[in-house]
Structure 1
Amino acid sequence: MQEIIGSRIVDVVRRAPEWGRRELETKDAPARERAEETTALMIAEALRHVDLTARAIG
């Protein structure tokens, strides 16, 4: 299960839009916070799918 979770997180980071990658590095606090929130939501959604899949299988 840990491998699946790690794999999903890596997939999310790889798919992150370019604007989000740039804004994660910016010194502009509102832009960085927006990118952090977007990334967190993308990871949460990916983990939700892992949980739903695990429940369906198990």
Structure 2
Amino acid sequence: MDEQTSAIILRVIERAPQWIRHDLESKNVGARARAEETLAAMIANALWEEAGNSPEN
């Protein structure tokens, strides 16, 4: 993974909402899975946008 990709991922994690941070620590499997899926989607979207794509395309 290059530095640019790492920086993008770090920015997403830094701005992750509190509920995601909380649910990632949860013992509730469903809550944790929802938080993981949401964080993964946020990271994928940030990488996609950085690649020159936009939600309007």
TM-score tier after normalising by the smaller chain length: 0.7 to 0.9
Q: How many angstroms apart in 2 are the aligned matches of 1:5 and 1:50? A: 9
Q: Which has the larger radius of gyration?
A: 1
Find runs of 4+ consecutive structure 1 residues off by over 4 angstroms. none
Partner residue in 1 for 2:34: 34
**TM-score w.r.t. length of structure 1:** 0.83
For this pair of structures, how many residues does the alignment match?
A: 53
- Runs of 5+ consecutive residues of structure 1 not aligned to the other structure: 54-58
Sequence identity of aligned pairs in percent?
47
Deviation digits for residues 23-44 of structure 1, max 9, x if unmatched?
0010101100000000000000
Task: Give the number of the structure whose residues are more often helix, by fraction.
Answer: 1
Q: Which has the higher contact order (CA 8 A, sep 6+)?
A: 1
Partner residue in 2 for 1:52: 52
Q: How many angstroms apart in 2 are the aligned matches of 1:13 and 1:41? A: 12
What's the Cα RMSD here?
1.6
